[in-house]
Chain A
Amino acid sequence: GAGVSQSPSNKVTEKGKDVELRCDPISGHTALYWYRQSLGQGLEFLIYFQGNSAPDKSGLPSDRFSAERTGGSVSTLTIQRTQQEDSAVYLCASSWTGGNEKLFFGSGTQLSVL
Chain B
Amino acid sequence: GESVGLHLPTLSVQEGDNSIINCAYSNSASDYFIWYKQESGKGPQFIIDIRSNMDKRQGQRVTVLLNKTVKHLSLQIAATQPGDSAVYFCAEPSGGYQKVTFGTGTKLQVIP
Contacts and interface: CB of A to CB of B under 8 A. Distances in A.
Interface of A: 4, 33, 35, 41-43, 45, 48, 50, 55-56, 58-59, 91, 93, 98-100, 102-108
Nearest to B47: A102
8 contacts: A41-B104, A42-B102, A43-B102, A56-B98, A91-B43, A93-B43, A93-B44, A107-B43
A43 B99 CA distance: 12
A103 to B, nearest CB: 6
Contacts, number: 62
Interface residues of B, number: 24
A78 B49 CA distance: 32
A99 B98 contact: yes
Interface in B52-99: 89, 91, 93-95, 97-99
Given A41-B104, A42-B103, A42-B104, A99 B43 contact: no
Q: Which 5 pairs, one residue from A and one from B, show the smallest C-beta to C-beta distance?
A: A105-B43, A99-B93, A99-B97, A102-B46, A43-B102
Interface of B: 32, 34, 36, 41-46, 49, 89, 91, 93-95, 97-105
Nearest to B41: A107
Given A41-B104, A42-B104, A102 B49 contact: yes
B95 A56 contact: yes
B43 to A, nearest CB: 3
A98 B97 CA distance: 6
A50 B103 contact: no
Given A99-B98, A103-B34, 4 more contacts: A4-B43, A98-B93, A103-B100, A107-B43
A100 B97 CA distance: 6
